[in-house]
Each structure stands twice: as structure tokens, then as C-alpha cells.
């Protein structure tokens, strides 16, 4: 899939592309002829990271702390 960084575009074009509502179409025209069509879609929702039980989180914190102390001395 091709990728286009909005930071590389002129501000007006970047604003137009990033401001399209979900489902809106944008025609790409060159010399009066349609050369492409883009349809905006909402960004996929980020999946929540599975959280570990508090006991496991505490165990990991203590293990990291112990390892850093052992590395120090």
C-alpha cells in the first residue's frame, strides 16, 4: 500500500485531506480529467492493551527494580 505523509504536503492540501469526514469522497483531477478518487474513513480504534493482574504488575516492577540494583552494584 502506498503511504503519503501529510507533513510533506502544502498546509492547505494537508488540511483538506485530514479534515474530510468519514465516508466523504475526494476527486483527484489533473488537466480537467479525474485521475483518482479517495474515500475518507475513520481511523481504526486502538485496541486496549490487555492489562495484567495487579499482582503480576507488582512482581514485574520489583523484578525490574532488583535487576537495576544488581546491575548498579
Domain ranges of the chain: 1-42
CB atoms within 10 A of CB 26: 13
Alpha-carbon Rg for the chain, nearest whole angstrom, is 24
By residue count, the chain amounts to: 73
Residue 10, helix vs strand vs coil: coil
Contact 42, 29 (CB under 8 A): no
Query: Which residues have a Cβ under 8 Å from the Cβ of 37 and sit 6 or more positions away?
Result: 25, 26, 27, 28
Take residue 55 and report the three cell numbers written for it: 499482582
Query: How does pLDDT run along the chain (73 residues), one tens digit per residue?
Result: 788 888 999 999 999 988 899 889 999 999 999 999 989 988 777 766 667 777 888 888 888 888 888 776 6
Amino acid at each position: 500500500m502506498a503511504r503519503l505523509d501529510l507533513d510533506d504536503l502544502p498546509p492547505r492540501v494537508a488540511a483538506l485531506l485530514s479534515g474530510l469526514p468519514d465516508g466523504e469522497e475526494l476527486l483527484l483531477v489533473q488537466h480537467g480529467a479525474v485521475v483518482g478518487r479517495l474515500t475518507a474513513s475513520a481511523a481504526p480504534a486502538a485496541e486496549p492493551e490487555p492489562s495484567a493482574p495487579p499482582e503480576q504488575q507488582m512482581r514485574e516492577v520489583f523484578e525490574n527494580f532488583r535487576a537495576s540494583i544488581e546491575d548498579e552494584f
